[in-house]
Structure 1
Amino acid sequence: MFTMSKVWERFFYFLTYVSQGSSYLSPRAYAVLHRMHHAFSDTPKDPHSPHHTKNVFTMMWKTKDIYNAVLNRTRPVEAKFDRNYPVWETLEKIGDSWISRVGWGTAYSLFYIFAYVYLDMHWAFFFLLPVHFLMGPIHGAIVNWSGHKYGYANFDNHDRSKNSLFFDWLMLGELFQNNHHKRPNAANFGAKWWEVDPTYPVIKFLAWTGIIKMRPAKVNTGEFETGHERLVETNEKMSA
Protein backbone atom coordinates (compact mmCIF):
# COMPACT_ATOMS: atom_id res chain seq x y z
CA MET A 1 0.00 0.00 0.00
CA PHE A 2 2.56 2.60 1.15
CA THR A 3 5.75 3.07 3.16
CA MET A 4 7.19 5.94 5.22
CA SER A 5 10.42 6.91 6.96
CA LYS A 6 11.14 5.86 10.55
CA VAL A 7 10.68 9.47 11.68
CA TRP A 8 7.19 9.72 10.22
CA GLU A 9 6.44 6.21 11.47
CA ARG A 10 7.15 7.34 15.04
CA PHE A 11 5.13 10.52 14.51
CA PHE A 12 2.03 8.62 13.38
CA TYR A 13 2.57 5.99 16.08
CA PHE A 14 2.43 8.74 18.70
CA LEU A 15 -0.52 10.37 16.93
CA THR A 16 -2.33 7.02 17.13
CA TYR A 17 -1.84 7.03 20.89
CA VAL A 18 -3.03 10.63 21.27
CA SER A 19 -6.06 10.25 18.98
CA GLN A 20 -7.21 6.93 20.49
CA GLY A 21 -6.47 7.94 24.06
CA SER A 22 -8.52 5.89 26.52
CA SER A 23 -9.29 3.20 23.93
CA TYR A 24 -5.75 2.88 22.56
CA LEU A 25 -5.10 -0.30 20.56
CA SER A 26 -1.65 -1.76 20.00
CA PRO A 27 -0.68 -1.45 16.30
CA ARG A 28 1.05 -4.83 16.50
CA ALA A 29 -1.90 -6.67 18.07
CA TYR A 30 -4.33 -4.89 15.76
CA ALA A 31 -2.25 -5.84 12.71
CA VAL A 32 -2.18 -9.50 13.73
CA LEU A 33 -5.95 -9.62 14.32
CA HIS A 34 -6.62 -7.81 11.06
CA ARG A 35 -4.51 -10.28 9.10
CA MET A 36 -6.25 -13.20 10.81
CA HIS A 37 -9.61 -11.64 9.95
CA HIS A 38 -8.68 -11.47 6.26
CA ALA A 39 -7.25 -14.97 6.12
CA PHE A 40 -10.17 -16.59 7.96
CA SER A 41 -12.97 -14.19 7.06
CA ASP A 42 -16.37 -15.34 8.37
CA THR A 43 -15.10 -18.75 9.41
CA PRO A 44 -14.91 -19.97 13.02
CA LYS A 45 -11.25 -18.86 13.11
CA ASP A 46 -12.17 -15.26 12.28
CA PRO A 47 -11.46 -13.16 15.42
CA HIS A 48 -14.47 -10.92 14.79
CA SER A 49 -17.14 -12.33 12.51
CA PRO A 50 -20.80 -11.53 13.25
CA HIS A 51 -21.76 -14.92 11.85
CA HIS A 52 -20.13 -16.97 14.60
CA THR A 53 -21.33 -15.03 17.63
CA LYS A 54 -24.80 -14.37 19.02
CA ASN A 55 -24.72 -10.57 18.89
CA VAL A 56 -22.42 -7.57 18.55
CA PHE A 57 -21.52 -7.69 22.25
CA THR A 58 -20.39 -11.33 22.21
CA MET A 59 -18.48 -10.63 18.98
CA MET A 60 -16.56 -7.78 20.60
CA TRP A 61 -15.98 -9.80 23.78
CA LYS A 62 -14.43 -12.57 21.67
CA THR A 63 -12.34 -9.94 19.88
CA LYS A 64 -11.22 -8.53 23.24
CA ASP A 65 -10.09 -11.95 24.47
CA ILE A 66 -8.10 -12.70 21.31
CA TYR A 67 -6.64 -9.17 21.24
CA ASN A 68 -5.41 -9.45 24.84
CA ALA A 69 -3.93 -12.89 24.18
CA VAL A 70 -2.04 -11.57 21.14
CA LEU A 71 -1.01 -8.39 22.95
CA ASN A 72 0.36 -10.30 25.94
CA ARG A 73 1.84 -13.04 23.74
CA THR A 74 -0.09 -15.79 25.51
CA ARG A 75 -1.58 -17.08 22.25
CA PRO A 76 0.58 -18.66 19.51
CA VAL A 77 0.49 -16.57 16.33
CA GLU A 78 1.40 -17.89 12.89
CA ALA A 79 4.61 -16.29 11.62
CA LYS A 80 2.94 -14.99 8.45
CA PHE A 81 0.66 -12.81 10.59
CA ASP A 82 3.29 -11.67 13.08
CA ARG A 83 5.57 -9.52 10.90
CA ASN A 84 5.94 -6.25 8.99
CA TYR A 85 4.54 -3.85 11.56
CA PRO A 86 6.04 -0.94 13.55
CA VAL A 87 7.09 -1.51 17.16
CA TRP A 88 7.44 1.00 20.00
CA GLU A 89 7.49 -1.03 23.20
CA THR A 90 7.57 1.91 25.62
CA LEU A 91 4.56 3.62 24.08
CA GLU A 92 2.76 0.26 23.88
CA LYS A 93 3.10 -0.22 27.64
CA ILE A 94 2.01 3.34 28.39
CA GLY A 95 -0.99 3.18 26.06
CA ASP A 96 -2.21 -0.12 27.48
CA SER A 97 -1.83 0.95 31.13
CA TRP A 98 -4.86 1.79 33.26
CA ILE A 99 -3.16 5.00 34.35
CA SER A 100 -3.14 6.17 30.74
CA ARG A 101 -6.70 5.03 30.00
CA VAL A 102 -8.16 6.60 33.15
CA GLY A 103 -6.06 9.71 32.59
CA TRP A 104 -7.44 10.22 29.10
CA GLY A 105 -10.97 9.52 30.33
CA THR A 106 -10.52 12.14 33.04
CA ALA A 107 -9.24 14.64 30.48
CA TYR A 108 -12.28 14.03 28.27
CA SER A 109 -14.61 14.54 31.23
CA LEU A 110 -12.91 17.78 32.25
CA PHE A 111 -13.14 19.07 28.69
CA TYR A 112 -16.87 18.34 28.57
CA ILE A 113 -17.35 20.11 31.91
CA PHE A 114 -15.35 23.11 30.68
CA ALA A 115 -17.39 23.23 27.45
CA TYR A 116 -20.63 23.02 29.42
CA VAL A 117 -19.67 25.77 31.88
CA TYR A 118 -17.83 28.20 29.62
CA LEU A 119 -18.79 27.36 26.01
CA ASP A 120 -22.54 26.91 26.45
CA MET A 121 -22.45 23.24 25.46
CA HIS A 122 -25.82 21.52 25.80
CA TRP A 123 -26.01 19.06 28.71
CA ALA A 124 -27.13 16.27 26.37
CA PHE A 125 -23.59 16.04 24.99
CA PHE A 126 -22.54 14.38 28.25
CA PHE A 127 -24.28 11.25 26.96
CA LEU A 128 -21.50 11.04 24.35
CA LEU A 129 -18.82 10.53 27.01
CA PRO A 130 -19.13 6.70 26.98
CA VAL A 131 -18.70 6.78 23.21
CA HIS A 132 -15.62 8.96 23.66
CA PHE A 133 -14.20 6.58 26.27
CA LEU A 134 -14.73 3.49 24.06
CA MET A 135 -14.42 4.91 20.55
CA GLY A 136 -11.93 2.22 19.43
CA PRO A 137 -14.11 -0.81 20.25
CA ILE A 138 -17.23 1.01 19.03
CA HIS A 139 -15.56 1.70 15.69
CA GLY A 140 -14.54 -1.95 15.43
CA ALA A 141 -18.04 -3.12 16.29
CA ILE A 142 -19.66 -0.96 13.60
CA VAL A 143 -17.17 -1.95 10.91
CA ASN A 144 -17.10 -5.68 11.56
CA TRP A 145 -20.77 -6.15 12.39
CA SER A 146 -22.30 -3.93 9.71
CA GLY A 147 -19.55 -4.59 7.18
CA HIS A 148 -20.28 -8.31 7.20
CA LYS A 149 -24.07 -8.23 7.52
CA TYR A 150 -25.62 -5.22 5.79
CA GLY A 151 -25.22 -3.86 2.28
CA TYR A 152 -24.26 -5.11 -1.16
CA ALA A 153 -21.32 -7.02 -2.65
CA ASN A 154 -19.28 -6.19 -5.74
CA PHE A 155 -17.18 -9.36 -5.48
CA ASP A 156 -17.58 -12.99 -4.48
CA ASN A 157 -14.88 -13.32 -1.83
CA HIS A 158 -16.19 -16.63 -0.47
CA ASP A 159 -17.16 -14.82 2.71
CA ARG A 160 -20.07 -12.58 3.72
CA SER A 161 -18.39 -9.18 3.53
CA LYS A 162 -20.55 -6.26 2.39
CA ASN A 163 -20.27 -2.65 1.31
CA SER A 164 -22.63 -0.89 3.71
CA LEU A 165 -22.60 2.63 2.23
CA PHE A 166 -22.03 4.23 -1.18
CA PHE A 167 -20.31 7.22 0.44
CA ASP A 168 -18.74 6.06 3.66
CA TRP A 169 -18.84 9.29 5.62
CA LEU A 170 -19.38 7.37 8.87
CA MET A 171 -16.29 5.13 9.02
CA LEU A 172 -14.17 6.94 6.39
CA GLY A 173 -14.02 4.02 3.96
CA GLU A 174 -13.95 1.12 6.40
CA LEU A 175 -17.51 0.08 5.53
CA PHE A 176 -16.39 -0.94 2.03
CA GLN A 177 -15.55 -4.33 3.53
CA ASN A 178 -16.41 -6.35 0.43
CA ASN A 179 -14.05 -4.26 -1.70
CA HIS A 180 -11.36 -4.34 0.98
CA HIS A 181 -11.49 -8.11 1.31
CA LYS A 182 -11.10 -8.42 -2.45
CA ARG A 183 -8.25 -5.89 -2.61
CA PRO A 184 -6.67 -5.82 0.85
CA ASN A 185 -3.58 -3.93 -0.30
CA ALA A 186 -5.33 -1.19 -2.29
CA ALA A 187 -5.26 2.28 -0.71
CA ASN A 188 -8.65 3.18 -2.20
CA PHE A 189 -11.38 1.10 -0.58
CA GLY A 190 -13.88 2.23 -3.20
CA ALA A 191 -14.04 -0.03 -6.27
CA LYS A 192 -16.80 1.57 -8.37
CA TRP A 193 -16.64 5.17 -9.61
CA TRP A 194 -19.56 6.12 -7.39
CA GLU A 195 -18.08 4.62 -4.21
CA VAL A 196 -16.37 7.37 -2.23
CA ASP A 197 -13.62 6.55 0.26
CA PRO A 198 -12.97 9.87 2.07
CA THR A 199 -9.59 8.68 3.35
CA TYR A 200 -8.15 8.06 -0.11
CA PRO A 201 -7.64 11.77 -0.98
CA VAL A 202 -5.83 12.17 2.35
CA ILE A 203 -3.51 9.28 1.43
CA LYS A 204 -2.90 10.83 -1.99
CA PHE A 205 -2.10 14.17 -0.35
CA LEU A 206 0.39 12.53 2.02
CA ALA A 207 2.00 10.84 -0.99
CA TRP A 208 2.14 14.17 -2.87
CA THR A 209 3.92 15.81 0.06
CA GLY A 210 6.41 12.95 0.27
CA ILE A 211 5.38 11.87 3.76
CA ILE A 212 4.47 8.42 2.43
CA LYS A 213 5.51 6.54 -0.69
CA MET A 214 2.81 4.67 -2.56
CA ARG A 215 3.54 1.27 -4.01
CA PRO A 216 1.45 -0.68 -6.51
CA ALA A 217 -0.91 -3.14 -4.86
CA LYS A 218 0.30 -6.02 -7.00
CA VAL A 219 -0.24 -9.59 -5.85
CA ASN A 220 1.93 -12.30 -7.36
CA THR A 221 1.05 -15.14 -4.99
CA GLY A 222 -1.81 -16.14 -2.77
CA GLU A 223 -0.05 -14.60 0.21
CA PHE A 224 1.05 -10.95 0.32
CA GLU A 225 1.98 -9.30 3.61
CA THR A 226 -1.46 -9.65 5.14
CA GLY A 227 -1.09 -13.42 5.33
CA HIS A 228 -4.14 -13.52 3.11
CA GLU A 229 -4.33 -16.93 1.45
CA ARG A 230 -7.96 -17.31 0.52
CA LEU A 231 -9.39 -14.30 -1.21
CA VAL A 232 -6.66 -12.56 -3.20
CA GLU A 233 -6.55 -13.71 -6.80
CA THR A 234 -3.21 -14.89 -8.14
CA ASN A 235 -1.44 -12.42 -10.47
CA GLU A 236 -4.16 -9.83 -9.97
CA LYS A 237 -3.05 -6.22 -10.44
CA MET A 238 -4.86 -3.69 -8.34
CA SER A 239 -4.60 0.09 -8.54
CA ALA A 240 -3.36 1.75 -5.39
Structure 2
Amino acid sequence: MPIIIFFIAIWYLSLFSQTFFHHRYASHGAFKMSKFWERFFFVFTYITQGSHYMSPRAYAIMHRLHHAHTDTELDPHSPNFSSNIFSMMWRTSRIYRDIFHGRIQVDEKYTKNLPEWNWFDRMANSAPSRLIWVGIYTAIFVLYATSPWLYLLLPVVIVMGAFHGAIINWFAHKFGYKNFIMKNTSENLLPVDILMLGESYHNNHHKHPSAINFGVRGHEFDPVYPVILLLNKLGVIRVPKLAAVPVSAEEGGQTSKQH
Protein backbone atom coordinates (compact mmCIF):
# COMPACT_ATOMS: atom_id res chain seq x y z
CA MET A 1 0.00 0.00 0.00
CA PRO A 2 2.79 2.58 0.72
CA ILE A 3 4.14 2.14 -2.81
CA ILE A 4 0.70 2.61 -4.36
CA ILE A 5 0.23 5.81 -2.32
CA PHE A 6 3.71 6.97 -3.37
CA PHE A 7 2.97 6.24 -7.03
CA ILE A 8 -0.35 8.13 -6.95
CA ALA A 9 1.28 11.08 -5.16
CA ILE A 10 4.09 11.32 -7.73
CA TRP A 11 1.57 10.94 -10.58
CA TYR A 12 -0.52 13.92 -9.50
CA LEU A 13 2.18 16.17 -8.05
CA SER A 14 4.40 15.90 -11.13
CA LEU A 15 1.39 16.25 -13.41
CA PHE A 16 0.29 19.39 -11.56
CA SER A 17 3.75 20.90 -12.07
CA GLN A 18 3.56 20.12 -15.77
CA THR A 19 0.07 21.49 -16.41
CA PHE A 20 0.31 24.50 -14.07
CA PHE A 21 3.90 25.65 -14.51
CA HIS A 22 5.16 24.24 -17.80
CA HIS A 23 1.96 24.31 -19.81
CA ARG A 24 -0.38 27.05 -18.65
CA TYR A 25 2.28 29.45 -17.35
CA ALA A 26 5.48 28.95 -19.36
CA SER A 27 3.99 27.91 -22.70
CA HIS A 28 0.88 30.08 -22.88
CA GLY A 29 1.30 32.83 -20.29
CA ALA A 30 -2.25 32.23 -19.05
CA PHE A 31 -1.31 34.03 -15.83
CA LYS A 32 1.59 36.01 -14.38
CA MET A 33 3.70 35.62 -11.26
CA SER A 34 6.58 37.43 -9.58
CA LYS A 35 10.18 36.29 -9.95
CA PHE A 36 10.05 34.92 -6.39
CA TRP A 37 7.05 32.70 -7.10
CA GLU A 38 8.46 31.72 -10.49
CA ARG A 39 11.59 30.38 -8.81
CA PHE A 40 9.49 28.79 -6.08
CA PHE A 41 7.69 26.78 -8.75
CA PHE A 42 11.01 25.93 -10.44
CA VAL A 43 12.03 24.26 -7.18
CA PHE A 44 8.58 22.75 -6.61
CA THR A 45 8.68 21.28 -10.11
CA TYR A 46 12.15 19.85 -9.55
CA ILE A 47 11.07 18.17 -6.32
CA THR A 48 7.86 16.75 -7.78
CA GLN A 49 9.31 15.67 -11.14
CA GLY A 50 12.70 14.50 -9.92
CA SER A 51 14.36 12.19 -12.43
CA HIS A 52 11.99 13.27 -15.21
CA TYR A 53 12.34 17.02 -14.62
CA MET A 54 11.78 19.10 -17.76
CA SER A 55 13.12 22.60 -18.33
CA PRO A 56 10.14 25.00 -18.36
CA ARG A 57 11.87 27.00 -21.10
CA ALA A 58 12.59 24.03 -23.38
CA TYR A 59 9.16 22.54 -22.72
CA ALA A 60 7.45 25.82 -23.58
CA ILE A 61 9.35 26.20 -26.85
CA MET A 62 8.51 22.63 -27.84
CA HIS A 63 4.85 23.10 -26.93
CA ARG A 64 4.61 26.36 -28.87
CA LEU A 65 6.00 24.52 -31.89
CA HIS A 66 3.29 21.89 -31.39
CA HIS A 67 0.56 24.52 -31.56
CA ALA A 68 2.12 26.29 -34.53
CA HIS A 69 2.67 23.10 -36.56
CA THR A 70 0.05 20.65 -35.26
CA ASP A 71 -0.14 17.40 -37.23
CA THR A 72 2.74 18.34 -39.56
CA GLU A 73 6.31 17.05 -39.71
CA LEU A 74 7.38 20.13 -37.73
CA ASP A 75 5.16 19.08 -34.82
CA PRO A 76 7.53 17.74 -32.12
CA HIS A 77 5.09 15.05 -31.01
CA SER A 78 2.54 14.30 -33.67
CA PRO A 79 1.45 10.63 -33.76
CA ASN A 80 1.10 11.00 -37.53
CA PHE A 81 4.84 10.60 -38.01
CA SER A 82 5.60 7.77 -35.60
CA SER A 83 4.77 4.10 -36.04
CA ASN A 84 3.93 3.59 -32.37
CA ILE A 85 3.65 5.46 -29.10
CA PHE A 86 7.19 4.58 -27.99
CA SER A 87 8.83 5.90 -31.16
CA MET A 88 6.84 9.11 -30.71
CA MET A 89 8.06 9.37 -27.10
CA TRP A 90 11.66 8.90 -28.26
CA ARG A 91 11.29 11.51 -31.01
CA THR A 92 9.80 13.98 -28.53
CA SER A 93 12.63 13.33 -26.08
CA ARG A 94 15.24 13.89 -28.77
CA ILE A 95 13.68 17.19 -29.88
CA TYR A 96 13.40 18.33 -26.25
CA ARG A 97 17.10 17.61 -25.67
CA ASP A 98 18.07 19.38 -28.90
CA ILE A 99 16.12 22.46 -27.83
CA PHE A 100 17.52 22.40 -24.30
CA HIS A 101 21.13 22.09 -25.47
CA GLY A 102 20.71 24.64 -28.27
CA ARG A 103 21.42 22.13 -31.03
CA ILE A 104 18.58 23.40 -33.21
CA GLN A 105 17.79 26.96 -34.17
CA VAL A 106 14.39 28.15 -32.98
CA ASP A 107 12.60 31.15 -34.42
CA GLU A 108 12.67 34.11 -32.04
CA LYS A 109 8.86 34.27 -31.91
CA TYR A 110 8.82 31.00 -29.94
CA THR A 111 11.30 32.21 -27.31
CA LYS A 112 9.55 35.30 -25.96
CA ASN A 113 8.55 35.72 -22.30
CA LEU A 114 9.93 32.39 -21.12
CA PRO A 115 10.82 31.54 -17.51
CA GLU A 116 14.58 31.18 -17.29
CA TRP A 117 16.88 30.04 -14.47
CA ASN A 118 19.81 28.73 -16.43
CA TRP A 119 22.08 27.26 -13.77
CA PHE A 120 19.16 25.60 -12.01
CA ASP A 121 17.90 24.10 -15.26
CA ARG A 122 21.38 22.74 -16.06
CA MET A 123 21.65 21.19 -12.61
CA ALA A 124 18.13 19.70 -12.70
CA ASN A 125 18.64 18.26 -16.19
CA SER A 126 22.09 16.85 -15.45
CA ALA A 127 22.83 13.13 -15.41
CA PRO A 128 24.02 13.18 -11.76
CA SER A 129 20.76 14.80 -10.65
CA ARG A 130 18.65 12.25 -12.51
CA LEU A 131 20.72 9.37 -11.11
CA ILE A 132 20.33 10.67 -7.55
CA TRP A 133 16.55 10.72 -7.97
CA VAL A 134 16.60 7.23 -9.47
CA GLY A 135 18.52 6.10 -6.39
CA ILE A 136 15.96 7.75 -4.08
CA TYR A 137 13.04 6.12 -5.90
CA THR A 138 14.76 2.73 -5.89
CA ALA A 139 15.45 2.98 -2.16
CA ILE A 140 11.78 3.78 -1.50
CA PHE A 141 10.73 0.69 -3.46
CA VAL A 142 13.28 -1.51 -1.68
CA LEU A 143 12.06 -0.31 1.72
CA TYR A 144 8.32 -0.36 1.09
CA ALA A 145 7.47 -2.68 -1.82
CA THR A 146 5.50 -5.60 -0.40
CA SER A 147 5.30 -7.59 -3.64
CA PRO A 148 7.69 -8.10 -6.58
CA TRP A 149 5.07 -6.92 -9.09
CA LEU A 150 5.17 -3.46 -7.53
CA TYR A 151 8.65 -3.01 -9.02
CA LEU A 152 6.93 -2.76 -12.42
CA LEU A 153 5.88 0.72 -11.31
CA LEU A 154 9.47 1.86 -10.73
CA PRO A 155 10.35 2.52 -14.42
CA VAL A 156 7.09 4.48 -14.77
CA VAL A 157 8.02 6.65 -11.78
CA ILE A 158 11.48 7.30 -13.23
CA VAL A 159 10.15 8.54 -16.60
CA MET A 160 6.65 9.56 -15.55
CA GLY A 161 6.68 12.87 -17.43
CA ALA A 162 7.13 10.99 -20.69
CA PHE A 163 4.12 8.81 -19.87
CA HIS A 164 1.98 11.87 -19.12
CA GLY A 165 2.97 13.44 -22.41
CA ALA A 166 2.42 10.26 -24.38
CA ILE A 167 -1.12 9.79 -23.07
CA ILE A 168 -2.18 13.19 -24.38
CA ASN A 169 0.03 13.52 -27.43
CA TRP A 170 -0.82 10.07 -28.77
CA PHE A 171 -4.33 9.19 -27.60
CA ALA A 172 -5.86 12.70 -27.56
CA HIS A 173 -5.05 13.02 -31.26
CA LYS A 174 -6.69 9.68 -32.07
CA PHE A 175 -9.65 9.10 -29.75
CA GLY A 176 -12.33 11.08 -27.94
CA TYR A 177 -14.84 13.73 -28.92
CA LYS A 178 -14.74 17.27 -30.30
CA ASN A 179 -16.40 20.40 -29.00
CA PHE A 180 -14.83 22.47 -31.78
CA ILE A 181 -14.22 21.69 -35.44
CA MET A 182 -10.60 22.61 -36.14
CA LYS A 183 -7.94 22.01 -38.76
CA ASN A 184 -6.17 19.46 -36.57
CA THR A 185 -6.82 16.07 -35.00
CA SER A 186 -7.11 17.22 -31.38
CA GLU A 187 -9.78 15.44 -29.33
CA ASN A 188 -11.12 15.61 -25.79
CA LEU A 189 -9.99 12.24 -24.51
CA LEU A 190 -11.99 11.99 -21.26
CA PRO A 191 -15.42 13.54 -20.56
CA VAL A 192 -14.52 13.96 -16.86
CA ASP A 193 -10.78 14.34 -16.51
CA ILE A 194 -9.57 13.54 -13.02
CA LEU A 195 -6.80 11.28 -14.35
CA MET A 196 -4.88 13.97 -16.28
CA LEU A 197 -5.94 17.10 -14.33
CA GLY A 198 -7.76 18.61 -17.31
CA GLU A 199 -4.99 17.99 -19.84
CA SER A 200 -7.14 15.53 -21.78
CA TYR A 201 -9.50 18.33 -22.87
CA HIS A 202 -7.12 18.71 -25.77
CA ASN A 203 -9.60 19.87 -28.39
CA ASN A 204 -10.81 22.63 -26.05
CA HIS A 205 -7.21 23.64 -25.40
CA HIS A 206 -6.32 23.88 -29.08
CA LYS A 207 -9.32 26.16 -29.57
CA HIS A 208 -8.43 28.42 -26.62
CA PRO A 209 -4.73 27.86 -25.76
CA SER A 210 -4.48 30.59 -23.11
CA ALA A 211 -7.67 29.77 -21.20
CA ILE A 212 -7.08 28.88 -17.56
CA ASN A 213 -10.05 26.49 -17.57
CA PHE A 214 -9.55 23.63 -20.01
CA GLY A 215 -13.14 22.44 -19.56
CA VAL A 216 -15.96 24.20 -21.40
CA ARG A 217 -19.03 21.99 -20.94
CA GLY A 218 -20.83 21.32 -17.69
CA HIS A 219 -19.37 17.82 -17.29
CA GLU A 220 -15.81 18.85 -18.21
CA PHE A 221 -14.27 19.43 -14.79
CA ASP A 222 -10.74 20.82 -14.83
CA PRO A 223 -9.26 20.17 -11.35
CA VAL A 224 -6.51 22.76 -11.80
CA TYR A 225 -8.92 25.59 -12.58
CA PRO A 226 -10.10 26.14 -8.97
CA VAL A 227 -6.47 25.94 -7.81
CA ILE A 228 -5.58 28.74 -10.23
CA LEU A 229 -8.50 30.83 -8.97
CA LEU A 230 -7.39 30.26 -5.37
CA LEU A 231 -3.76 31.18 -6.09
CA ASN A 232 -4.98 34.28 -7.91
CA LYS A 233 -7.09 35.27 -4.90
CA LEU A 234 -4.12 34.73 -2.58
CA GLY A 235 -1.93 36.94 -4.78
CA VAL A 236 0.49 34.17 -5.74
CA ILE A 237 -0.39 34.61 -9.43
CA ARG A 238 -2.22 37.27 -11.44
CA VAL A 239 -4.87 36.11 -13.90
CA PRO A 240 -5.89 38.54 -16.66
CA LYS A 241 -9.62 39.30 -16.52
CA LEU A 242 -10.30 37.83 -19.96
CA ALA A 243 -8.50 34.60 -19.14
CA ALA A 244 -10.49 34.19 -15.95
CA VAL A 245 -13.78 33.85 -17.83
CA PRO A 246 -14.54 30.21 -18.77
CA VAL A 247 -15.19 29.72 -22.46
CA SER A 248 -18.50 28.20 -23.56
CA ALA A 249 -18.61 25.37 -26.06
CA GLU A 250 -21.69 26.98 -27.51
CA GLU A 251 -19.38 29.37 -29.36
CA GLY A 252 -20.17 27.88 -32.74
CA GLY A 253 -18.23 25.60 -34.97
CA GLN A 254 -18.41 22.77 -32.47
CA THR A 255 -19.54 19.22 -32.77
CA SER A 256 -20.14 16.49 -30.24
CA LYS A 257 -18.88 13.73 -32.54
CA GLN A 258 -17.80 10.64 -30.65
CA HIS A 259 -15.18 8.10 -31.80
What is the TM-score of this pair, normalised by structure 2?
Answer: 0.80
Deviations 1:117-151 (A, max 9, x none): xxxx4443221100000001111111101111110
* Distance across 2 between alignment mates of 1:61 and 1:32: 18
Q: Sequence identity of aligned pairs in percent?
A: 46
Q: Could you tell me which amino acid in structure 1 is paired with residue 36 of structure 2?
A: V
**1:45 maps to 2:74:** yes
Partner of 1:87: 116
Show the 5 A alignment for 1:72-221. Answer: 72-116=101-145, 121-217=146-242
Q: Is residue 146–residue 175 contact of structure 1 (8 Å, CA) maintained in 2?
A: no
**1:35 maps to 2:32:** no
Partner of 1:8: 37
Deviations 1:182-230 (A, max 9, x none): 0000000001121111111111111111111111447xxxxxxxxxxxx
Paired residue secondary structure (2:32): strand
* Distance across 1 between alignment mates of 2:188 and 2:154: 29
Paired residue secondary structure (1:80): helix
Structure 1 unaligned segments of length 5 or more: list them: 219-240
Aligned residue-pair number: 215
Q: Could you tell me which amino acid in structure 1 is paired with residue 229 of structure 2?
A: K
Q: Could you tell me which amino acid in structure 2 is paired with residue 182 of structure 1?
A: K
Partner of 2:91: 62
* Distance across 2 between alignment mates of 1:198 and 1:146: 20
C-alpha deviation, 1:73, in angstroms:
0.7
Q: Could you tell me which amino acid in structure 2 is paired with residue 214 of structure 1?
A: V
Q: Could you tell me which amino acid in structure 2 is paired with residue 66 of structure 1?
A: I
Q: Is residue 164–residue 176 contact of structure 1 (8 Å, CA) maintained in 2?
A: yes
Paired residue secondary structure (1:132): helix
Paired residue secondary structure (2:109): coil
Partner of 1:24: 53
* Distance across 2 between alignment mates of 1:111 and 1:69: 32
CA RMSD of aligned residues (A): 1.4
Residues 170-179 or 61-70, more deviating:
61-70
Structure 2 unaligned segments of length 5 or more: list them: 1-29, 244-259
Q: Could you tell me which amino acid in structure 2 is paired with residue 70 of structure 1?
A: I
* Distance across 2 between alignment mates of 1:122 and 1:166: 34
- Tell me which protein shows more helix as a share of its residues: 2
Partner of 1:71: 100
